[in-house]
Chain A
Amino acid sequence: MPNPLPQLDSAVLARAQHGDRNAHAEIYGLFATSVFTLARRMLASRALAEDVLQDTFVEVIRKVGSYRGDAEFGFWVKRIAINKCLMHLRSSWVSRRDGDGDEKVGLLPARAAGIDDQIALERALDELTDTGRIVVWLHDVEGHTHGEIGRMMGRTASFSKSQLARAHERLRSLLGGEPVKDGTNELCTPALKTC
């Protein structure tokens, strides 16, 4: 299961809801790392992650007064961050930028960095399509269901499932697994003789 989120003290929450700046800073201190990690992993860009971090906490401060405790505070914060990430990816500027590959100048293919598995995995994750990377992160790491992911992205659970499968096939290819063939029977490689 994903890492448990820090718990927010109810007294801190109450102070934050009354506009206490120190309480806001405490909330930031508790959740900034998980928000920044989430954004960096989902967007594959440190600069965009910094934007999301800022946008998320500005909204948290503005809306903390309306937080009613329906969901755990950490999940509420993360949900804001996820929405900000999705908003960034819907931006036409991001779409235009993707073609230039500007964020990946000098980035080596994952295979070339294979000495360290973790670095290789991070780079392979960055190499996925935006949608594939988001689905992998939200499903495999954050623990969201395909139904939830489909709703968040304005699509269906089936869309999320197929994106997850494609992303894992791509990860396998990037990490030096068997080559992936096009078509529905992706596993029919010489290594899998049963197909």
Chain B
Amino acid sequence: MHPSTEDLLSIRDGEPVDAVVAERACDAAHEQEIERLRKTRDALRRLPELAPPEGAWAAIEAAERETRARGNPWLRRVAGIGVAAAVAAVAIALLGLPSHPRGPVVLAPAPQGDDTSTTLDTPDLTSSIIGAAPIYDTDRLLAGRVVPTSYPALVQESARLDRALRRLSYQRPMMSGGTATTIAGLEDRIALLDEQITYGNARGVPQPQRNALWGERVELMNALVHVRYAQAQPTGF
């Protein structure tokens, strides 16, 4: 029976191992491997600590205040109006989007030397939501109304929206049939896009088309985050 990495790790950590295995691990080569495992562990422990981002405490305080505000009935009633407004606005906005990607999304060219972003001419959903709902870390959730144009920026923006959505998805309040339909429609279209993106990656689809797919994903994710954001606000009854 030869010592496995699992056995050598147990020896490194002073845990009991089979006597035969322990004996076989006593040769120079295995001792060298145990020493390497020990050095790796020590190096992991020496990795530097990482400072949290500036302003994180302010965001935490705001989030904590928002959590407490959820118990406030007046704020909940005001937020209820915001949900309806946001869903209506997103539904209207979606009428202007293609139901599936047919070709490159036409975006204005980025300025010379700046491949990061171009603002899309979309309805101002942010103001309709923020105007009626209590503030819930809005800078982080709703700052993304600018759609990037470069491939890495599109992918990263999509990831940012995924994170925002995931945070909102922790709360699952009751919703109306209209809201549920809007959300389901958006999620279906995003799922379809994800399949197309995966297929495109596997088949080496040209970069402009991949950019277009990611661009549409960012738009749909933006819409979904807006609806989810409004929906996550506590509603009054």
Binding site for B on A (CB under 8 A): 2-3, 21, 24-25, 28, 32-37, 40-41, 47-51, 53-54, 57-58, 61-62, 88, 91, 93-94, 96-97, 99-100, 102-103, 105-106, 117-118, 121-122, 125, 136-137, 140-141, 161-162, 164-166, 168-169, 171-172, 175, 177, 184-188, 191-195
> With A184-B4, A186-B4 in contact, do A93 and B166 touch (Cβ < 8 Å)?
yes
State whether B57 touches A136 (Cβ < 8 A): no
* Per-residue A-contact encoding for B53-85, CB less than 8 Å = 1, 0 else: 100110111011001000000000000000000
Q: Which residue of B lies closest to A191 (CB)?
A: B29
Interface residues of B in 4-61 (CB under 8 A from A): 4-6, 8-10, 24, 27, 29-30, 33, 36-37, 40-41, 43-53, 56-57, 59-61
Q: How far is the CA of A47 from the CA of B167 in the complex (A)?
A: 12
State whether B36 touches A58 (Cβ < 8 A): no
> With A25-B57, A57-B60, A165-B9 in contact, do A136 and B44 touch (Cβ < 8 Å)?
yes
> Told that A28-B60, A48-B163 touch, could you supply 13 new A-B pairs with CB distance under 8 A?
A33-B51, A33-B52, A58-B60, A102-B155, A105-B156, A117-B43, A121-B47, A141-B45, A161-B6, A171-B40, A187-B2, A187-B5, A192-B33
Minimum Cβ distance to chain A for residue B150 (Å):
10
Give 14 A-B contacts (CB < 8 Å), ordered by A residue.
A50-B53, A53-B52, A53-B60, A100-B155, A100-B197, A117-B43, A121-B40, A141-B41, A161-B6, A162-B6, A165-B4, A165-B5, A177-B36, A194-B30
Q: Which residue of A lies closest to B51 (CB)?
A: A33
State whether B44 touches A140 (Cβ < 8 A): yes
> With A96-B194, A194-B27 in contact, do A186 and B50 touch (Cβ < 8 Å)?
no
B52 partner residues in chain A, CB cutoff 8 A = 32-33, 35-36, 50, 53
Minimum Cβ distance to chain A for residue B9 (Å):
6
State whether A168 touches B43 (Cβ < 8 A): no
Question: Is B165 among interface residues, defined by CB-CB distance under 8 A?
Answer: yes
B138 partner residues in chain A, CB cutoff 8 A = none
Binding site for A on B (CB under 8 A): 2-6, 8-10, 24, 27, 29-30, 33, 36-37, 40-41, 43-53, 56-57, 59-61, 63-64, 67, 152, 155-156, 158-160, 162-163, 165-167, 169, 194, 197-198
State whether A118 touches B43 (Cβ < 8 A): yes
State whether B5 touches A103 (Cβ < 8 A): no
A118 partner residues in chain B, CB cutoff 8 A = 43, 46-48
> With A61-B64, A121-B44, A192-B29 in contact, do A53 and B56 touch (Cβ < 8 Å)?
yes
State whether A194 touches B29 (Cβ < 8 A): yes
State whether A168 touches B64 (Cβ < 8 A): no
Q: How far is the CA of A3 from the CA of B46 in the complex (A)?
A: 9
